[in-house]
Amino acid sequence: MRVRECMTTDVQVITPDNTLQSAAQIMADIDAGFLPVADHDRLVGVITDRDIAIRGVAAGHPPDSSIRDVMSDSVKYCFDDDDLDDVLENMGDIQLHRLAVINRDKRLVGVITIGDCAGGGETARAGEALGDIVRPGARTSQMV
CB-based contact 70:50 (threshold 8 Å): no
The pLDDT score that the predictor gives to residue 118 is 67
Q: In the predicted model, what is the mean pLDDT of residues 119-124?
A: 50
Mean pLDDT, the chain, rounded, equals 84
CB-based contact 79:103 (threshold 8 Å): yes
The pLDDT score that the predictor gives to residue 136 is 52
State how beta strands 42-48 and 34-39 pair.
antiparallel
Does 140 or 5 have the greater pLDDT score? 5
Give the contacts of 127 (CB within 8 A, at least 6 positions apart): 118
CB-CB neighbours of 19 under 10 Å: 18
pLDDT single digits (tens) 2-14: 999 999 999 999 9
pLDDT single digits (tens) 62-118: 999 999 999 998 889 999 999 998 998 898 888 888 899 999 999 999 999 888 776
d(CA 84, CA 138): 24
Amino acid letter for position 57: V
Amino acid letter for position 47: I
Question: Between 1.20.1200.10, 3.40.50.720, 3.40.50.300, 3.10.580.10, what CATH number should domain 3-133 receive?
Answer: 3.10.580.10
The pLDDT score that the predictor gives to residue 5 is 93
Question: Quick check: pTM over 0.85?
Answer: no
